[in-house]
Structure 1
Amino acid sequence: MKCQAVLHLTAVILVLLVAWEFLKTSFDVQDFQWTKTKSTEGKIKAEIKSAPKCSLSRDCPPDRFAVSVRSGAGDIVGPRICFNGETIMNNVLNNVGEGLNIVVVDGERGVVEKYGFLNMDFGNRDDILAYLKEIQPGRIVLVASFHDVATLLTDEIKEIFVGMGSSFITSLKLKDNWVFVGRAGTKIKSVFEKQAVNDENTNAFEKWPNMVEVAGCFPRSLNATL
């Protein structure tokens, strides 16, 4: 009887040991899976966080702003203007319009001061001119065309954009597409500018040229090279 009791006790101890090892292994697996999940989530969050602003191919250095400006396509798809990672104007926001879509930024602080669109077909020339003259020197100006921009484009209005660094504004014609990023009152020629000429032989949308886009890292400083 004494021998049977010892055997019984031994069996109970073995069962407890096996159960303990099983539970221990289970918890280890769970801990591993939880740690792995946290690590994976961390990597995903890091990848999202490190994605370049305005869908650029790379991050901009601290002394430059990420910009992306796309013109409208034909008379249907509106333009898009992104500054420093934030989409300021596009169709989804329902704040674009026919003519010149403009975003004005305080380059010192990187703060958007105002945005809107100037109807260059049915707008008032005096109001358009007054709006442009209010833009203070040193301000970063992002512009995207939609529909027609040439009907009310006077020499005085063109001269203001030339003063921002535009090279193509003087050659814009009816239904041309145009995008531009410059700095008011500096006359520093900007490389952030493109034009698509309205030509029935090359137009992408029958009566309309293809959309154009500029994107890159625009300098904060007035003295930086574009």
Structure 2
Amino acid sequence: MLTVRIGRRRHKSQGIRSLFLILAVLGVIFLIVFLLMKSQNHSISWYQEFIGPEGLHVLKESKVSTSSPIQRSNLCGIQKPCPDGDINFYISSGAASVIGPKICVAGKMVMGKMEKNVGEGINIAVLNGKTGEVIKTEFFNMYDGEIEPMIKFLESIERKTIVMIASFDDPATKLNEEARSLIKQLGSSAIDSLAFRDNWVFVGGKAAEGVGVKSNLEKHVKNNRDQNKYDNWPEMTELLGCVPRYLE
């Protein structure tokens, strides 16, 4: 009996090639997805290192809900316990020219980007030495600003006050001997060597008439291209601790 087959018989090797092609396409898709996820995780890790875990926590919280207020305490870091009567503080310099400095007193931000009272150069907060209340804050551009306003500000600081300073980007280009001398009188030992794009944080003050001041609440990181964390800028500098009030 003669049997007639309609259509062409599919060869077994063609089916194997089709299966191999499908697996290859799936493999390429998986590889692309894996590389994208790895790249995203790297970006998050770099940004977390740059702004710190507290900043990343606040960023995540703000994405989840724009209606709930940001917890300000997260921006001031962990506060150091202090003896009765002392004032706790947290200060950080800027990071490169992107992340600004901040000054916190008793867990409250007194200078920062969100307060809109910081800028490139030298940022200064003056506190009442007896109560710890903020008297005034100001920032001075030390790259293309004028030095005279900062000199007048430093000269106006009254005695029995606490002075907190944080650098951002470049704190030294416009500094002259008069300005350095005034800051040195507040207790700084690093001001003489402060240079272009160094990072610097400091707590000092003006004591009673005729009483010299020398502060050990100070950190200074030199700008060194071979050691910098952010190419043209050193790592962010932080300082936290306790400062005693002035007694009557």
- Counterpart Cα distance in 1 of 2:235 and 2:113: 18
- Counterpart Cα distance in 1 of 2:147 and 2:197: 18
Partner of 1:104: 126
8 Å CA contact 2:199–2:234 kept in 1: the answer is yes
Asked if 1:146 corresponds to 2:168, the answer is yes
Partner of 1:215: 240
- Counterpart Cα distance in 1 of 2:143 and 2:235: 20
Residue deviations 1:144-189 (CA, integer Å, cap 9, x gap) = 0001111111111111111111010000111101000001255422
Moved more, 114-123 or 57-66: 57-66
- Counterpart Cα distance in 2 of 1:131 and 1:189: 20
In the TM superposition, structure 1's runs of 4+ consecutive aligned residues that sit over 4 Å from their partners are: none
Partner residue of 1:61 out of 83, 103, 113: 83
Counting only pairs closer than 5 Å after superposition, residues 1-226 of structure 1 correspond to structure 2 as 54-56=76-78, 58-185=80-207, 186-221=211-246
- The structure with the largest alpha-carbon Rg is 1
Which amino acid is the alignment partner of residue 183 of structure 1? G
TM, length-normalised to structure 2: 0.65
8 Å CA contact 1:56–1:66 kept in 2: the answer is no
Residue deviations 1:126-160 (CA, integer Å, cap 9, x gap) = 22211111011221000000011111111111111
- Counterpart Cα distance in 1 of 2:247 and 2:201: 21
- Kindly tell me the number of residue pairs found equivalent between the two proteins: 172
Partner of 1:33: none
Which amino acid is the alignment partner of residue 212 of structure 1? T
CA RMSD of aligned residues (A): 1.9
- For residues 138 and 147 of structure 1, do their structure 2 counterparts lie closer, same or farther at Cα, with a shift above 3 Å needed? same
- Counterpart Cα distance in 1 of 2:93 and 2:247: 26
Percent of paired sites with the same residue: 40
Deviation at 1:57, TM superposition (A): 5.3
Structure 2 unaligned spans of 5+: 1-72
